Structures are given as structure tokens and as C-alpha cells.
Structure 1
Amino acid sequence: MKLNEGFLDSMKEAFARFREGDAAAATDAVQRALRGEAANAASTAREFTDVESTPVHVAERAEPVHRARPRPAKSQPEDCGHFSMRSYANAAGQRNYKLYVPKGYTDEPVPLIVMLHGCTQDADDFAAGTQMNALADSHKCLVVYPIQPQGANPSKCWNWFKRVDQTREKGEPSLIAGITREVMATHRVDRNRVYIAGLSAGGAMAAVMAQNYPDLYAAAGIHSGLAAGCAHDLPSALAAMRGGKRRADARFVEPPRCPLIVFHGDADTTVHYTNAGDLVRAFTEDTSARGQPSSGIAAGRKHTVRRLTSADGVPAELWTIHGAPHAWSGGNPRGSYTDPSGPDASAEMLRFFLAHSRPGGVTDSE
């Protein structure tokens, strides 16, 4: 849907006020713009909205996503192992994280999955919605959930669109990589089977991490996210989210070196579906019989799977969920931003992850 002139004028005013250093006026202009565009609120939503700590708030989302519900008192599948809060700090700052150790873990080397939540979420919410801890029990994996605090972003979004947070060993990438390495140092982790996944802003940050740390992560899963380097500030982030024209940062144009599995609903009005294509742009169709596109129906949602390969032989899968909103496919409604209809993104990501290991060792000092 095309944005009207009033909305665009208000957004231009917001950007101008921000450049002048008047954060309060910028916030007010953005809020006026969104209040005047209720029908389009879902396309800008609360995702990816902070630039230099300028908050943006919107009305109720138009998409049929599910909000978090209170947990029942009885034990849930993700509570069978040990889920504990920890903290990590380096020169870029400090982040809490929750680590899930599966039931039956006996200190043998196991895979590690790093899960990056979306805006407004936290570790408990994301774990409940994705059910990744329950899968970790079945497959004997450690799962770590870095937590983005409100102090770093008013909507608790990972700052995937800021230049300092798109660079190896700088900003938030250094914190996420540091958390990953800390878990590897304190637990018996199979160093060649470390993976990263995320939803929305977390998916966009997972793409940044996969591009910057192919020596650390053996594969990445990106759900409803965006490609690394597609934005460098709020205006370019909003343009990218809407599927508009943008220019990628030259630092991120290099061919992908990390296997990718991408999920995206083609009815997503928060992050346009074209972003899924951008994530796999450097991949081409696998022409083998095994690589032919496939389609199916799961829990009422039709989906299409394309199997792709880069020029260097790096594999990728693109799952298009037809009619799906901005939500984790096959997720549990006890978590926010979940769509119980459709294929189980968590199970498919884990299947893809465990099929790929990274050759060679990992250098912790890198």
C-alpha cells in the first residue's frame, strides 16, 4: 500500500529533527505519522525503530500474530533441562543471556545454537514461542539466548542497521560472539557445530553475524529478517523493511560463506517478502534432482522450498510460507510473534543445522 503524502512529510520532519539533535521533536513527528496511518502501522510497526535511542510507538498491529500468554504453573517442555541467566561484558558493553542445558547432558561435546529474539521479546518469550529448548532435549544441544535490553534499544530490537553494529568485533556483534565463545569455554561444545538463528530484528542480526563470523558459525537460520548491510540508519532501515530501493554496504557484498536457511511469509507487512530474496541473492538454484523446488501444506499453510547453492558450493534453503504474517512459522502461541499454522521452522532449522558442520577449528581470540 502506498504511503500518503502526510505520512511521508511527517517522517521527513522526524529525520530532520533528529539530525538537529532534537530527539523529543523527532519522536513526536514519528508518532504523529503513525497515528495518521493506522492502516499502514503494521508495515512500520515497532520493529527496528530506534536510532540513537529515539523511541517509536505504534497502535495495535494489524497482523494476526499471537502475543505472549502467562505460563501455566505446571512444567513445560522447555523447562525439562536447566535454563539459567548469565551475563557477559566486553569493551562494547554488557548483555545478559539465558543458557539452556538439555536434560541428560553429561558434559559430552554437543552442538550449540544461538537464538536472537525479535523486537519487544526476551529470552523466555522467544524460547516459549520457538520451542527450541524442547528440540534441544531431543537432539542434545545447548541453546543460548542473548538478551537485548531496553537501554540499548527502547523496543529491545537488535541494532542491525547501525554501522558500528554491523562490524566484526565491534558493538553488538562483538557481544553476541563473546557470549557464544563464553558458552564454548564453559561447556563441552562441538566447536564445528555452532549455529545462529533469529527472528525479525534478530534475524537481521543473525545475517550480520553469519557474514562477519563464518569461522565461528557453521550455519545460520533467518526468519522474517533482512540481509546484512542493507541499511545504515533509520530511513534506510524503513526503506529496506518496505522492500524499497536501497544500496548495500560494499563491505557485505562478498559471496556468502555460511550455509543459510531462510523462512519468510509472503503476506508479511512488517518486513516485506523481497528481503528473503535479498538474503539468498548470491545463491542459484540447485539443478540436481534433489535440489528441485518442492511445495507442501503443513497445519493449513502452503509453502514452497527452494534449494540453492553459491558459486563456492555453499548451500541454502528458502522457505516461502504462503499467506503467513510476520511471525515464527509453526510456533507455539504461548510466545509472541508466532504463527502456529505452517511448517515447523524450529524443527527444519535444526535439521538443516545438524546436516552442516564447519571444517577446521575455531580461534577464540579472533
Structure 2
Amino acid sequence: MNRSSLKYAWRSKSTGIPLRSGAAGRSTHPVWLRTVLAGFAAASLLVLAAVPSASAATDGTGGGEGRVDHRTYRTSTGENDYLVYVPKGWKESDRLPLYVNLHGCGTTAQEMIDASLVNAVADRERFLVAYPDNDGQCWRAVFHHPPSTTRGGGGDADIIAGITRETMSTYHADSNRVYLIGGSSGGFQASAMGATYPDLYAAIGVIAGGGYGTDFQTCQSLTDQNAPAYAPSAVAEMGRRAHVMPFFTIGGTNDVLGEQPAPGGCTRRAYLEWLATDNLLKPGQDGDTFRDDPASTVTGQEPGGYTWTKKVARDPKGCQIAERWIVDGMGHNWPGDAGDPKGPSTAEASWSFFKQFTLRGGNSTCHG
């Protein structure tokens, strides 16, 4: 991959725009930026452990039997590399679902392939996987960078949407079954994509990340009670394209960006914010339409690994809208697979959740 942009430290490969903390066009002062980055290094917050464990065998396809295509998304402002996994046996006449997988800070698309092992699931379940690449840099929703959290802002949200559309067109994907998930900064960006481009994605997923409108600092300082206060801004950004957004979250209890008890707990608050967002989009007559269903809570343990809890939110008819996985004792990792093999498989769990939903039909298992 072209790494020439790395000499412009922490700049977008596509635009060369510095990270910003305020309105578009106002650059962050370099001293402030160095201070923030030093804080990242000290806390080891934003580098999702997406590099496979030493015992994990990787062959560049993430355990899949298909092929990985290296592609470049080009616009008038620049270009971004991305990878597309094409499952074994794919034909141009196929209309397969598309799963978009966003890496975190300090990792690449190839490392996400190697760690997440989504491609092996894609072979079995028959879907395409797109891996946008940001040269190991953070997706900038983690800083609440306005151009990257606004449709048409020229930032990362538009870049990822463009890569999604290009993949859909090139590989004839089913536009009704497109899903997006991200880890760490990719998790923050996944929340941003759910708000900025709800007309592209049937469901989204957040791994060790935060909700729309928050950054890596504010999400830690929130309480669970005030996290839903960000829901109106998500609804406003969705605008006329809004639809109830199914969502999946997973995080560890030893991760401040995951499910750690306060302070911390960004992934938990992303769940609460998206639940509140969907309830604003579809209010009930007697309170919230979508609520956690205690009867659906499941606990388990990976052999020789972590215990976990899965919580489910449903509507009054019993139709599922959300799934929240809490992994006891896990840090800032991609859970399961080759990222942290002691956790439940995020590849299996996320696809099992996503495949219930279509963009124009809602929860297909509930007939809309």
C-alpha cells in the first residue's frame, strides 16, 4: 500500500486535513495535538489489539478460501486504499450482502483481515467484505472531527460511504443487505456512519468504541443516564433518510472504551445512545418502543477463556433491534478469532446479528 502520506503525521490520506477539535477549517495547534497523542500512548487507549496472536496462522486471506482484491478509491481530493474479500465461488451474477469492517488506530485493513477472521465466515455464509484502509491512522470520528461526522463534510464519513458504494457497484452487492462494523476509532466512525449514511447501511456494529457525537474523552466522562442525551443529534444528522438502526456492540470490562465500569464504558454508552435514538425514531404509546429483554439474556464462557454476557433489546412484538456483548476481564481487543482468542467470536456473533436485517424490510425474521 502507498504509505507516502505518513510523513504528514496524523493527516488524512485523502485530504491532508489536520485533525480538528472545532469547526471545519480551524486547525488544531500542534502542541495540543502532541499532548493528546502522548496521552494516547500513555493510556494505550486507541490501538485496538487487532494484530493476530503469535499462534494464529495467517495467510493474507484471514482463513478464507476466496481472494483479496487490492483497490483504490479516488476522488478529486485524494485517494484511499481498501481491500475487498471475494468469497470462494463468487460470480458476477451473484447479489451478495456486503460487510464493511473498519480498523482502529495503529492498525491496517490487512491486519483487520488477519485478526477478525471474518472472511472464513463470509465463505460459509456467502457475503463480501470491504476493508477501508487509513494507513494505520485513526478514523477521525474518534476526535469528533466535524467533517468526518457530517454527511457531505468531505471527511472520513464521505470516504467510507464512497468505498462502500464503489464496492457495491463493482461486485454487484445486494443494496438491501449492507452492514458496517468498526473497532476502537473504527467503532466511533461506525456510529458516525449510522447517523450520516443510514440510507446505505441496514445495521451497524461498535467494538470498543463510542456513540455518535462523542469523542474518546467525552464518552468516558458520561454517565449511563446522560448518554441518551446525544440521541437527538444522531436523529438530526440522519434527517429525512432516517430509519430505525439495528445495532450490535461488544466490549471488555477492562477497557475504558469498552464495558469498563465508570469511569469509562464508551461501548456501553454507545449502546444506550443508539437505543435512545431508535426510540426517538419510533416512539411507543406507553414509553420506549425498544427495551432490554431480561428473558433473552444469555451468559457463557469460552473454553479456557473469558466469561461473557449477551443482552438483547426488542420491541413489544418480540422483534430484536439490538445486541450487547459484555466480555468479563478483556481489555482493548477485537474479541475472539485471532485478535484475542479467549473471547467470543465477534465475526460469528456480528454476522448472526446482521443477517436478520434488511435496509428496507427491517427485521426480516419478524417480517418487518
Normalized against structure 2, the TM-score is what?
0.72
Q: Which residue of 1 aligns with 2:69?
A: 84
Partner of 2:233: 251
Q: Which one of 149, 156, 173 corresponds to residue 166 of structure 1?
A: 149
- 2:333 paired residue number: 327
SS across alignment from 1:167: coil
Which residue of 2 is the match for residue 135 of structure 1? Answer: 121
Confirm whether residue 263 of structure 1 aligns to residue 263 of structure 2: no
| CA drift at 1:198 | 0.7
What residue is the counterpart of 1:52 in the other structure? none
Matched, 1:239 2:213: no
**Is the 2:209–2:257 Cα contact (8 Å) retained in structure 1?**
no
The one-letter code of the counterpart of 1:302 is: T
1:103-252 counterparts in 2 under 5 A?
A: 103-107=88-92, 108-149=94-135, 156-160=137-141, 161-170=144-153, 171-231=155-215, 237-241=216-220, 248=230, 250-252=232-234
CA-to-partner distance for each residue in 1:162-198, whole Å, 9 max, x for gaps?
A: 0111011321111111111111111121111111011
Residues 127, 243 of structure 1: CA spacing in aligned structure 2 closer, same or farther, 3 A cutoff? farther
- Report the CA distance between 1:74 and its aligned residue: 6.2
Q: Does 1:301 align with 2:306?
A: yes
Q: Structure 1 residues 358, 294: CA separation in 2 closer, same or farther (over 3 Å shift)?
A: same
Residue 183 of structure 1 aligns to a residue whose secondary structure is: helix
**Aligned 8 A contact 1:243 1:271 in 2:** no
Secondary structure at 2:156 match in 1: helix
Note the C-alpha offset of 1:239: 3.3
1-structure distance, mates of 2:256, 2:123: 34
Task: Give the direction of change, closer, same or farther, for the CA distance of 1:293–1:73 in structure 2 (3 Å limit).
Answer: closer
Native 8 Å contact 2:50 2:111 kept in 1: no
Look up the match of 1:56: none
Letter in 1 for 2:244: R
Matched residue SS, 1:87: strand
Q: Distance in 2 between matches of 1:32 and 1:279?
A: 25
- For the residues of structure 2 that align with 1:26 and 1:277, how far apart are their CA atoms? 28
Q: Distance in 2 between matches of 1:95 and 1:277?
A: 31
Query: Secondary structure, in 3 states, of the residue corresponding to 1:94?
Result: strand
Give the stretch that moved more between structures: 341-350 or 246-255. 246-255
Question: Cα deviations across residues 14-48 of structure 1 (Å, max 9, x unaligned)?
Answer: x9xxx99751x43555577678xx5xx23xx345x
Alpha-carbon spacing, 1:292–1:196, altered in 2? closer, same or farther (3 Å):
same
- Equivalent residue, structure 1, for 2:355: 354
Tell me the secondary structure at the aligned position of residue 191 of structure 1.
Answer: coil
Instruction: Give the letter aligned to residue 108 of structure 2.
Output: D
Query: Does the Cα contact within 8 Å between 1:113 and 1:142 map onto a contact in 2?
Result: yes
Aligned in 2, Cα 1:34/1:303: closer, same or farther, shift over 3 Å? closer
Find the aligned partners of 1:172 and 1:309 in 2 and give their Cα distance.
32
Output the CA distance in 2 between the equivalents of 1:20 and 1:115.
Answer: 29
Answer whether contact 1:285 1:309 (CA < 8 A) is retained.
yes
**CA 1:144–1:72 in 2, change beyond 3 Å: closer, same or farther?**
same
* Whole-angstrom distance in 1 between the partners of 2:27 and 2:69: 43
Q: Which one of 269, 291, 305 corresponds to residue 278 of structure 1? A: 269
Structure 1, 193-202 or 338-347: larger mean CA deviation: 338-347
In 2, Cα distance between the equivalents of 1:142 and 1:320? 27
Task: Give secondary structure in 2 for the equivalent of 1:119.
Answer: coil
- String of CA shifts for 1:310-359, please: whole Å, max 9, x gaps: 69977000111111111011130xxxxx2111211110101111111121
- CA 1:73 to 1:174, structure 2 compared with 1: closer, same or farther past 3 Å? closer
Q: 1:216 to 1:344 in 2, by over 3 A?
A: same
Preserved CA contact (<8 Å) 1:276 1:318:
no
3-state SS, counterpart of residue 354 of structure 2: helix
Cα offset, 1:80, TM superposition: 2.3
Q: Distance in 1 between matches of 2:214 and 2:316?
A: 21
Aligned length: 304
CA change 1:323–1:242 in 2 (3 A) is farther
The residue identity in structure 2 corresponding to 1:275 is C
Unaligned runs of 5+ in 2: 1-20, 237-241, 280-289, 362-368
Indicate if the aligned counterparts of 1:211 and 1:256 stay in contact, CA closer than 8 A: no
Q: Secondary structure at the match of 2:217?
A: helix
1:276 is paired with a residue whose SS is helix
Q: Which amino acid aligns with 1:159?
A: R
Q: Secondary structure at the match of 2:148?
A: helix
Overall identity of the aligned pairs, in % = 29
> Structure 1 length as normaliser, TM-score?
0.73
Across the aligned residues of Structure 1 and Structure 2, the Cα RMSD in angstroms comes to 3.3
Opposite residue 308 of structure 1, the aligned amino acid is A
Distance 1:201 1:116 in 2: 8
